[in-house]
Amino acid sequence: MASGMKETEVWIGPHGTQKTDLIRLVIILSLTILCIATSVVSFSSGILGIITSQLFFIPIIYAASVSPKKGVYVATACAFAYQTIGYFYSYPDSVALVSITAEAILFIVIAAIIAYFIERIHAGELKYRTVFENSQLGIILFDAADFSIKQSNEKFATMLNYTVDEVVAKSLLDIFLSPREKSRFLERIGKEMTTADFETRFAAKDGSSCWVNLSWGQIGDGTVSCSVVNINARKLAEKLNNDNMMKYRQLTEGSPTSILIIQNGYIRFANPSFVAFVGYSPAEITGKSLTAFIEPGDLDAFNEFSAKWVQKFPTKYAKEFRFLTKTGETRVGSLFTNQVVHMGNPATLINIVDITEKQRLEDQIHKDNERRRGVIVTVAHELRTPLQPILGYLNLLLSDAEGFGIKEDTKKILERCLVSVDRERQIINQMLDLSVLESGKFHLTPSTFPLAPLVRKVLDAGGYATKAELTVDIEDSIQVIGDKDRLFSVLDALLSNAVNFSKPPRKIGIFYRSPVGDRQHHISIRDNGVGIPQDQFSSIFEPFQLADGTVLSRKYERLGLSLSIARRIVQMHGGSISVESVVNAGSTFTIHLPKEEIHHDA
């Protein structure tokens, strides 16, 4: 039966049975009664023949195929019925009685033989299924003609980060990493239908490479059984060992990052990037101590840092030092170290990142972000400008629909247009708010105010009492420090989400908690909505994101900006927003605000 479905149970008095079993029982009883009736007619009319007894094999064979033990019971019952009828009509004919007895015994013998072989088949299938599902090797069965995967065990699916259902929906040829690997496999299986130790690469679900060893053989009916061994770790180790010198050379000589190899306190190798970094030639660098290139003011810190190089682990944190170039210019480099073997002896490999270049890139990114925000602001203003007269005209027409000769159907259309235009206006305003928040030019206006009246004001302004059943548990004495207007918008955004994403009957709870000694306010908004998967907790706070963008965005016609804006405002207050959720049960968003200090940085 399909996964996740259950057979229907039929209750007869206090006892329950599966519907399928009941149907089978009815069929067996019907066939048995039919055979008995036929036997009675045959014996009573004197029409005797082997066909009379053979009819009983129909319910016997059917019952044995369904359940071997039941088949024997049915055979015994049929034998008794047949022998009773035969004796009744054939007595005292001894020859006929012996024949009838032999036929009745044959019923039981045939049923026992069928039951024996079916039990053997079931045992073999169970043994195969146990091996298939619990094997430490990946196992798949695929069609020899089109290579579609018929079955897969959990081990193989896990090897490639798929589920079993995802694997079965694929063709084996789709799993190969590249066309070349696929061609090698087709060439090999075209020559040998039984093969061992064929090494190739499969593509995992995320597209990464996985080395495997395949062994396959045909098991009949055009099906091929293939065992799969994950040899990825071994192949990677071999590749690392074989390519060690090449990678070492590429790492040092071809890297755009400055690389040094220090041995016994002296530079044994400097790559071209370090040569360009300090402006000295390789001959002027090799054999010298790295301290010769460190700005004197950083020597003490550098000596303390270099004392950690004897550790056989990378330094935990990078360290920045000033370097003096040959021209007298001061440049800043960030140093990372690791222990290596150079020419058979321990050495320290140092990576030096030029912070000057990094700063230049950061400045460029900052300019690009400013340019992007400028474009968003400009576009938002351009979009908002034509919306104002549209909103005005729609409100004017709807305010006096009869006076303008507007019919009821047309009025409803205009009302829907007004809702859509107003929603567009709200989205544009959110885009402008988000751009201002990201620009760092937004400043808070903090004050001390009671929390409960602010929550009531949000509920009244949004009309949430008419949209959901509300529970508010906030004492009137609770005082909060923050920008009242901005925290109003945060609460409104979270309440709007809670109402829109809840299932009728909508139940929204607003709670406050702050244990003794806690330095933060905790304001929670709980709903009974659709819930959010845990792996999407972080993405819902990103701009233009929803918990399920493919479903919720269509259902609620919303753009994911409000949560991003709310989180940014709370962060500016020095706080945060956390989320707890259970899919199809509801979500709880909690605002954490400091009781004293407010951070004004955007």
Per domain, the residue ranges of the chain are: 9-132, 136-237, 259-442, 447-594
User: Which CATH code for domain 447-594?
Assistant: 3.30.565.10
Q: Which CATH class is domain 259-442?
A: alpha beta
How confident is the model over 328-357, as pLDDT tens digits?
888 888 888 888 777 778 888 888 888 766
CATH superfamily for domain 136-237: PAS domain (3.30.450.20)
pLDDT value at residue 173: 93
Q: Which residue has the higher pLDDT, 304 or 540?
A: 304
Q: Which residue has the higher pLDDT, 597 or 253?
A: 253
- Mean pLDDT, the chain, whole residue set: 78
pLDDT at 50 over 60: no
The span from the CA of 595 to the CA of 521, in Å, is 6
Mean pLDDT of 51-74: 75
Structure-block tokens of residue 167 = 């694997």
pLDDT at 559 over 50: no
pLDDT value at residue 479: 92
Q: Which residue has the higher pLDDT, 49 or 438?
A: 438
Distances (CA, A) of 430 to 380, 423, 488, 563, 570: 9, 11, 14, 10, 16
Q: Which residue has the higher pLDDT, 168 or 15?
A: 168
pLDDT value at residue 330: 86
pLDDT value at residue 547: 44
Angle subtended at Cα 592 by Cα 586 and Cα 597, rounded to the nearest 5 degrees:
170
| 193-201: long-range pairs with CB below 8 Å, 24+ | 193/144, 193/217, 193/218, 193/224, 194/218, 199/231, 199/235, 200/176, 201/176, 201/177
Q: Which residue has the higher pLDDT, 396 or 11?
A: 396
pLDDT value at residue 438: 62
What percent of the chain is helix, strand and coil (3-state, nearest 5)? Answer: 50, 25, 25
Mean pLDDT of 503-523: 90
pLDDT at 560 over 60: no
How confident is the model over 530-542, as pLDDT tens digits?
888 887 777 777 7
The sign of the torsion formed by the CA atoms of 466, 467, 469, 474 equals negative
Distances (CA, A) of 457 to 294, 460, 470, 487, 509: 63, 5, 14, 12, 16
- Do 488 and 457 touch, CB atoms closer than 8 A? yes
- Do 190 and 182 touch, CB atoms closer than 8 A? no
Confidence of residue 557 (pLDDT cuts 50, 70, 90): very low
For the full predicted model, state whether its pTM sits above 0.85. Answer: no
Q: Which residue has the higher pLDDT, 455 or 6?
A: 455
Q: In 440-483, which ranges are continuous DSSP H helix?
A: 451-462
Q: Do 136-237 and 259-442 fold alike per CATH?
A: yes
pLDDT at 71 over 90: no
How confident is the model over 246-258, as pLDDT tens digits?
655 666 666 778 8
Q: Which residue has the higher pLDDT, 67 or 190?
A: 190
Structure-block tokens of residue 351 = 């990576």
pLDDT at 545 over 50: no
Mean pLDDT of 100-124: 76
Mean pLDDT of 422-432: 64
The span from the CA of 238 to the CA of 198, in Å, is 17
Mean pLDDT of 156-175: 90
* Residue 543 neighbours by CB under 8 Å, 6+ apart: 434, 560, 561, 564
| Short-list 155, 57, 67, CA closest to 109 | 57
pLDDT at 110 over 70: yes
% of the chain residues with pLDDT over 90: 16
The 3-class SS string of 23-75 reads HHHHHHHHHHHHHHHHHHHHHHHCCCCHHHHHCCHHHHHHHHHHCHHHHHHHH
